[in-house]
Amino acid sequence: MMEAVKTVSDGMAISAARTTVDYTRKSPIKINRAWCKGCDICSALCPRCVLEPDRNRMPVVAHPEECTQCGICWMHCPDFAITSNVN
């Protein structure tokens, strides 16, 4: 069974279950919302302000073009909810 995917106006693909937000077209990182508890550590530590909390305090890749793949966000994520989309 294929998972339904809804395309949002700015090119983001969000799964119907809303557990993983995949910004593969624009973003070098991927956030697993099922694992994320919304602690905001990633947003606070990002030196380029790539991540911002949404209204539910969940991180959103607000400025993907600013990401330098420094790894600070995923190295400090206590829930291992952030991974790199870059090979």
pLDDT tens-digit series, residues 8-66: 433 444 444 445 555 445 678 999 999 999 999 999 999 999 999 999 999 999 999 99
Contact between 37 and 59 under an 8 Å Cβ cutoff? The reply is: no
Q: Residue 44's pLDDT is what?
A: 96
Q: Give the closest residue to 22 by CA, choosing from 87, 83, 66, 80.
A: 83
Please identify, in words, the CATH class of the domain defined by 5-84: alpha beta
Contact between 42 and 5 under an 8 Å Cβ cutoff? The reply is: no
5 or 44, which is more confident = 44
- pLDDT-based confidence at residue 2 (cuts at 50, 70, 90): very low
The model carries a pTM of: 0.66
**Over 70: is that where the pLDDT of 87 sits?**
no
C-alpha span between 87 and 65 (Å, rounded): 17
User: Domain segments of the chain: what residues?
Assistant: 5-84
